[in-house]
Amino acid sequence: MPRLISIYIFKEILTPFLLSAGILTATIILSSSLDMVDLVVTYGVGPSTVLWFLLSTVPNFLVDIIPISFLIAVLVAFARLSSESEIIALKGSGVGLFTLIKPVLVMSIAVYLLTLVISLHINPWGNKNLKKIMFEVARTATAAGIEEQTFFWTRPGHSRGFKGVVLYVDHFAEDNETMRGVFISQKEEDGTKSVILAESGLFVPSSDDVSISLILEDGTIHRSREGSTDYNLATFDKYTLALDLAEGRRPGRPTHETSNRELYVGELREKIKVVAAKNWPSLNKDILDLHKRFSMPAAVFVFAILGIPLGIQKVRSAKLTGFSVAIAVVLIYYLISKQVESLGKSGLINPVLAAWMPNIVLGAIGAYIFYRAAIDRPVGVMKAIEDLYGSICEIFKKKRIGESKKKGRGK
């Protein structure tokens, strides 16, 4: 009997879980469609690059989508069991919520492991790959925009070009890649001005695959500084010039820096050791980012415990059912998470505690509600969730109205 019930619960949860995950993933893909169109129309990339862009983007959202889909699935499954009086029939047969939660927890373990693999391995790979794709697209588009006997620089309102650099090319060689008669004027942030003249030049990716280098041959460098009478002249046979792409590039902003999102767990731990040894202010943020790799997937256990009692409780109105209940719970989780994250980054609370606080708070609430529902003493939690959900929606509504008025005054 327990085995049949477990299989039955599995089936009830699996279908809405896959459906919710598919719909949410498709929504994310559609939201990225403008970037994909931008890649094709503006930068002229091929289908393979668009596909890699898509595959690199999706894992970043799956860490959130999978736990939310599991919450929706548990709510939908137990709401149906409750509405068709199957929960009452099971309790009459001696099968209580403590028995029904077992297959849910088993399934949540599988979902947790899947989300954990994405969080620890696939997501960093996706972020690294996405950065490489964006930089390669930007590099190719920038190099392709260079014309013979035309000064090339970042015009106001345009993204193509190199920051602080004016480039002139007399002509291209037969391979259409090697530049002949190269003139470069560069101004650095410290006021140093450089003029470089070279017989030839060639763009190549740097060893880190995320920056652009210009290999120059047979030339001279003229360098001076504002407010100084010093003047330096040097000749070279071969010179490598690192170039930064102009900021504000769409899509994405290539950068030489490596963010925590691109680091695997081992790399992030090594970074934390270095940051702790040098006493840098980013230590709390780095520790928080590390523990969120584990706390976000663990949210499925919290949603499992919350989803069962919320699913079997009756709702006063039709405005807050199924998917809406899940959105309300996720909003509460999100608000708690953002508040404690800011406290953890500032050092007001321990960053490890800040990473796990949403799970601890909602897990404790969920355990209490579940216990009350299991002993047939449910609490009026749905009314509280409905009221809180209504208050949050009202806040966002007022915010949208305020922004609309500001835009209206701006026009």
DSSP states along 55-84: HHHHHHHHHHHHHHHHHHHHHHHHHHHHHT
Rounded CA separation 107/75 (Å): 14
* The pLDDT value given to residue 314: 61
* The pLDDT value given to residue 331: 85
* The pLDDT value given to residue 256: 44
* The pLDDT value given to residue 326: 81
Tokens, residue 278: 């040098």
Q: What is the pLDDT along the chain (411 residues), one digit of tens a residue?
A: 578 888 999 999 999 999 999 999 998 888 877 777 777 776 677 788 888 888 888 998 999 999 999 999 999 898 888 888 888 888 888 888 888 899 999 999 999 999 999 999 999 999 888 888 877 776 676 666 688 888 887 654 444 567 778 888 998 888 777 899 999 988 877 778 889 999 999 887 665 555 578 889 999 999 888 777 788 889 999 998 877 765 444 444 444 456 788 899 999 999 999 888 887 778 899 999 999 999 999 999 999 999 898 888 765 443 445 567 788 888 889 889 988 998 998 888 999 999 999 999 999 998 988 988 888 776 665 556 556 656 666 766 776 776 666 666 655
DSSP state of 276: H
Which residue matches tokens 């799970």?
359
Q: pTM of the full predicted structure?
A: 0.72
CA torsion sign for 394, 396, 397, 401 is positive
Contact criterion met (CB below 8 Å) for 154 and 163:
yes
**Cross-strand pairs, 198:** 182, 219
* The pLDDT value given to residue 255: 43
* The pLDDT value given to residue 403: 66
Containing H/E element for 219? strand 212-225
* The pLDDT value given to residue 404: 67
What is the distance of C-alpha 341 from the center of its chain?
Answer: 16
Rounded CA separation 186/164 (Å): 6
Q: How far apart are the first and last CA of the chain?
A: 68
* The pLDDT value given to residue 206: 61
Contact criterion met (CB below 8 Å) for 258 and 152:
no
Residue 43: CA count within 13 A, CB half-sphere:
28
